[in-house]
């Protein structure tokens, strides 16, 4: 069985590797519990859509240039792991973190934002009742956050951060947006041209 201390040791030894930044995960996706996985699936979907690959072994990166990793890190059950994740994030080559947590004490995003600062953290409140807890940061301690459950947008925001440095990510974001725009245009034309009744009967 993996102990929290094993995971902390792993993060610290990853940090000491001084790995080539092209081989480290670019986006870290963390969540307070594996019960958050469904709510966080949007982040993985968006990253997959943008051509990011999942890195499951820090020492053995996938061929794709842009990658993400994921861990469960609980601010309350495993505070030491949260500290280790935030403190090693820069040395492990992460450029941006997407952090989700639920319940009324959803502290993982805001605490990670403070610990990993100045690495940007995009917070995802897993439920409506988590929103205040995620976004309520004091002046001088920033977090960027999306609305409850909007993990897809959180990952797009993370990619936007990366795009300032990587033209390739910018190109993928623009392509994604053009696809979205084209989809709305096609739907709009069909609604108009078929008429409401026929559209409802045949579209999709
Ligand atoms: N949570 C886990 N550790 C600290 C917090 N705040 C959150 C998780 C999850 C909720 O508590 O992010 O949304 C319930 O977790 P569980 O594991 O009981 O299902």
What DSSP state is assigned to residue 204? -
| Domain definitions of the chain by residue range | 2-165, 166-204
pLDDT of residue 125: 98
Q: Are 23 and 57 in contact (CB under 8 A)?
A: no
If one residue of 29, 70, 106, 149 were mutated to test the ligand 1 pocket, choosing by the most ligand atoms within 8 A of its CB, it would be 106
In the structure encoding, which two tokens stand for residue 99, read together?
A: 């952090």
- Per-residue pLDDT 10s for the chain (204 aa) are 999 999 999 999 999 999 999 999 999 999 999 999 999 999 999 999 999 999 999 999 999 999 999 999 999 999 999 999 999 999 999 999 999 999 999 999 999 999 999 999 999 999 999 999 999 999 999 999 999 999 999 999 999 999 999 999 999 999 999 999 989 999 999 999 999 999 999 987
pLDDT of residue 32: 98
76 lines ligand 1 (CB under 6 A): yes
Ligand 1 center to 67 CA (angstroms): 26
Which class would CATH give 2-165? alpha beta
What DSSP state is assigned to residue 90? T
Asked if the bond preceding 118 is cis, omega within 30° of 0, the reply is yes
Q: Whose CA is nearest to atom 19 of ligand 1?
A: 35
pLDDT of residue 156: 98
153 contacts: CB under 8 Å, gap ≥ 6? 42, 46, 146, 147
Cα separations (Å) of 10 from 62, 64, 71, 130? 19, 23, 12, 30
In angstroms, rounded to a whole number, what is the distance separating the alpha carbons of residues 2 and 43?
26
In angstroms, rounded to a whole number, what is the distance separating the alpha carbons of residues 181 and 167?
21
Instruction: Return the ligand 1 atom nearest residue 31 CA.
Output: 12
- 59-62 own/partner pairs: CB under 8 Å, 24+ apart: 59/14, 59/17, 61/23, 61/24
In angstroms, rounded to a whole number, what is the distance separating the alpha carbons of residues 53 and 19?
18
Instruction: Return the ligand 1 atom nearest residue 106 CA.
Output: 6
101 lines ligand 1 (CB under 6 A): yes
In angstroms, rounded to a whole number, what is the distance separating the alpha carbons of residues 69 and 92?
11
In the structure encoding, which two tokens stand for residue 201, read together?
A: 């009967």
pLDDT of residue 203: 81
């Amino acid at each position: 069985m993996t102990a929290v201390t094993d995971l902390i040791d792993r993060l610290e030894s990853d940090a000491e590797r001084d790995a080539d930044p092209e081989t480290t995960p670019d986006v870290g996706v963390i969540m307070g519990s594996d019960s958050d996985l469904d709510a966080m699936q949007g982040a993985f979907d968006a990253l997959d859509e943008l051509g990011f690959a999942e890195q499951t072994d820090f020492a053995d990166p996938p061929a794709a240039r842009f990658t993400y990793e994921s861990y469960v890190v609980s601010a309350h059950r495993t505070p030491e792991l949260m500290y280790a994740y935030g403190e090693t994030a820069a040395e492990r080559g992460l450029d941006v973190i997407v952090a989700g947590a639920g319940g009324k004490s959803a502290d993982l995003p805001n605490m990670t934002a403070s610990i990993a600062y100045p690495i940007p953290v995009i917070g995802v409140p897993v439920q409506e009742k988590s929103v205040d807890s995620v976004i309520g940061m004091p002046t001088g301690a920033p977090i960027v956050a999306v609305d409850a459950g909007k993990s897809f947008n959180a990952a797009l925001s993370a990619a936007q951060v990366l795009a300032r440095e990587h033209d390739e990510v910018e190109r993928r974001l623009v392509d994604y947006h053009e696809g979205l725009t084209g989809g709305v245009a096609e739907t709009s034309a069909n609604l108009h041209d078929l008429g409401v009744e026929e559209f409802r009967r045949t579209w999709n």
